[in-house]
Amino acid sequence: MLCFHIQSIIETQANFLNNIGVYRRKCAKFPDGERLTGRTAVITGANSGIGRHTARIFARLDAKVFMLCRDLNKARIVRDEILDEIRLNNNNDQQENRIELIQLDLSSLQSVRKCAQEINDKVDQIDYLINNAGIMMCPESKTIDGFESQFATNHLGHFLLTNLLLDKIRRSSSARIINLASIAHIPGSIHFDNINLENGAYTPLKAYAQSKLANVLFTLELARKLRDTNIRTYAVHPGLVNTELGRHLNGLALCLLNFFRRMILISPELGAQTTLHCAFDSNINDDSGGYFA
């Protein structure tokens, strides 16, 4: 299940690189207005940064939200903060079941399978899947399953999760799958002959770029496979966002990040607008597979 059809991916990569202008869009700020009562959103990495704000908006709009997080203690704090805000705004204490927490470690395929099974047991349908979680520029390491950590966490975990939830997503009258990508995909390549970047090939940036390119290609391939369904899928670059994603940076890269943090980095709230735009804008139905920035 984790294997790509390599020929299809190579063709998709070539098509994407030849048509990158088609897939880049400028996104307007999400207009806070519609209600999502009766709809279900599943969000990975929902306890911090962009994922946290995304979960907050979905919950505020009355969706049922599943926050998939590695650290449930942190997730509980965030969930309670979101629920407190909703109670304050709505003067309504009957909100406890609006947000559910499920433990998910995307670097572990066993954890992904367990998480997906729990979700499938709880819901009849899924209307939004936001593959938001990720890691960046990490020191070289492998997961318990033997994969390079950034590729496993950023791509393989989400690839498996999406496929395991796809039957419930198909039940929605109008579903969207959104993959958090990055402009870092541009210098990336998929190293099919050395996917773990072993034998001295590893650099943090090369591994990150490979994982982000995989996100974009996965989005395109999903759109192709699902083109005759009610599911739309998008890859989004949120911009340069002030989140915890850069926690593995060191040396000059960390110094530059800290120097420019207040000048060029945008807030997670602004960074989430691209995701929210792709989740809610009905005018982009014909752009499934698109890359939005």
What's the farthest any 2 CA atoms get from each other in the chain? 59
Res. 116 pLDDT band, cuts 50 70 90: very high
CB-CB contact of 174 with 127 (8 Å): yes
DSSP per-residue codes, 89-157:
HHT--TTGGGEEEEE--TT-HHHHHHHHHHHHHH-S--SEEEE-----SPPS-B-TTSSBHHHIIIIIH
Q: Which residues pair with 69 in a beta bridge?
A: 103
Query: In this predicted structure, what is the pLDDT of residue 264?
Result: 61
In this predicted structure, the answer to whether residue 27 has a pLDDT above a threshold of 60 is: no
Reported pTM: 0.85
In this predicted structure, the answer to whether residue 16 has a pLDDT above a threshold of 70 is: no
202 a catalytic residue? no
In this predicted structure, the answer to whether residue 147 has a pLDDT above a threshold of 90 is: yes
122-131, 169-178, 187-196, 257-266: least confidently modelled range: 257-266
3-state secondary structure at position 41: strand
CB-CB contact of 75 with 101 (8 Å): yes
Average pLDDT in the chain: 85
Q: Does domain 24-292 have CATH number 1.10.3660.10?
A: no
Decide which of 182 and 8 is more confident. 182
In this predicted structure, the answer to whether residue 20 has a pLDDT above a threshold of 90 is: no
Query: In this predicted structure, what is the pLDDT of residue 14?
Result: 40
3-state secondary structure at position 42: strand
Map tokens 């009849």 to a residue.
124
- Give which of 3, 36, 39, 4 is closest to 217, Cα–Cα: 4
Query: In this predicted structure, what is the pLDDT of residue 19?
Result: 40
Res. 252 pLDDT band, cuts 50 70 90: low
**Catalytic choice (128, 208, 234, 291):** 208
State pLDDT tens for residues 58-114.
999 999 999 999 999 999 999 999 999 988 877 555 567 899 999 999 999 999 999
User: Half-sphere exposure (CA, 13 Å, Cβ side) for 119?
Assistant: 35
Decide which of 92 and 280 is more confident. 280
Query: In this predicted structure, what is the pLDDT of residue 48?
Result: 92
Q: How do strand 99-103 and strand 40-44 relate by DSSP bridges? A: unpaired
Decide which of 245 and 155 is more confident. 155
Q: Which residues pair with 180 in a beta bridge?
A: 236
